[in-house]
Amino acid sequence: MNSQNFWPEGKKFALCLTHDVDRVYKTFWHCAYYFIKTGNTYHIKSIFTKKRDMPYWNFEKIMEIEEKHGVRSTFFFLNETTMFNPSRPSTYKLGNYDIQDPRIVETIRKLDSGGWEIGVHGSYYSYLSGEMLVKEKKILEEILGKKVLGIRQHYLNLEIPKTWELQRDAGFKYDASFGFRDRIGFRDEKYLPFEPFGDGFLVIPLTIMDGPLFDSSKDIKDAWYKCKELIDYSEKKGALLTVLWHNNRFNENEYPGQARVYEKIIEESMKRGAWVATGKDILEWWDNGGQTSR
């Protein structure tokens, strides 16, 4: 494939920027959980601060970084209704904010008016429920006052091809859940968008997620080296490199240096001649015939 004839304006490869908004406030339970997990007394001290919720409220910081480079990203907002189940303690990690809270609504609308894309972060069990997908899409559309195009399932939950069929039938135009939970890289060597049914419904593969990246790295330098390797590969293959950085990862106290790695991915990719896009940008380019250039 000649990437010069594939991506818009002769760009060498594409970088799709995304954020999953799992949580926006730091609760007492978050403080206790992360103290037990890490032993960092910062988490205990944060219980008693008046700005306990602020560590995860990093929308302005993300906007500032992306505005500086003249790029935009997609934010997937979660509308989780699953209640805590004592027999499944992992459900504690599910969303803990009300998407219809005035402060959340204001933020969603501010992002949208500034050119950022808003998508659905499908709730934990929605990957098996068309009814839940329709409901979550409708609520977000009522907030935005327009159609929502994209979705990424919470925890990257997918049952292939059923989930994609349900998403398509619910009116979504693309899914961004196809990736690894436990490592980074191109799943099944899918380094370009693809249509699983050949009917226009698009899958945008995920390449780098913050959690697996930093969990598998010795330090920030090592994490950046792994990202650079994937940028090298993307440039060589003319690939779509999709990255996922959760909003809480931009908090320097809890995740030092991780916001800088995100910014370096943008800087290095742009230096290499990448087209930086949202999920919506990828979809619209594909719909306008981009895929026929292969």
As a whole number of angstroms, the distance between CA 119 and CA 77 comes to 6
pLDDT at position 38 is: 73
pLDDT at position 55 is: 77
Cβ contacts of 169 within 8 Å, gap of 6 or more? 130
As a whole number of angstroms, the distance between CA 137 and CA 156 comes to 17
Supply 43's token pair.
């988490």
Question: Residue 143 — φ and ψ, nearest 5°?
Answer: -70, -45
Amino acid present at 72: R
pLDDT at position 3 is: 46
pLDDT at position 80 is: 87
As a whole number of angstroms, the distance between CA 206 and CA 184 comes to 9
Q: Is residue 44 assigned to a domain?
A: no
Q: In this structure, how many other beta carbons lie within 10 angstroms of the beta carbon of residue 239?
A: 27
Could you list the residue range(s) of the whole structural domain that residue 134 is in? 3-26+53-293
Query: Do residues 152 and 127 touch, judged by C-beta distance below 8 A?
Result: no
pLDDT at position 292 is: 46
pLDDT tens string 25-66: 776 666 666 667 777 776 666 666 655 456 789 999 999 999
DSSP designation for 89: G
pLDDT at position 41 is: 72
**What is the count of structural domains for the chain?**
1
pLDDT at position 104 is: 95
Q: Cis before residue 212, ω within 30 degrees of 0? A: no
pLDDT at position 39 is: 74
Q: Is residue 115 assigned to a domain?
A: yes
As a whole number of angstroms, the distance between CA 245 and CA 265 comes to 11
Q: Is residue 247 assigned to a domain?
A: yes
Nearest in space to 75 (alpha carbons), one of 124, 22, 7: 22
DSSP-based three-state secondary structure for 88 = strand
As a whole number of angstroms, the distance between CA 199 and CA 243 comes to 26
Q: In this structure, how many other beta carbons lie within 10 angstroms of the beta carbon of residue 188?
A: 8
Q: Is residue 45 assigned to a domain?
A: no
Q: Which residues of the chain, if any, have pLDDT below 50?
A: 1-4, 52, 292-294
DSSP-based three-state secondary structure for 53 = coil
Instruction: Tell the burial category of 155 from Cβ atoms under 10 Å away from its Cβ (0-12, 13-18, 19+).
Output: middle
Q: Is residue 39 assigned to a domain?
A: no
pLDDT at position 37 is: 73
* CATH, residue 272: 3.20.20.370
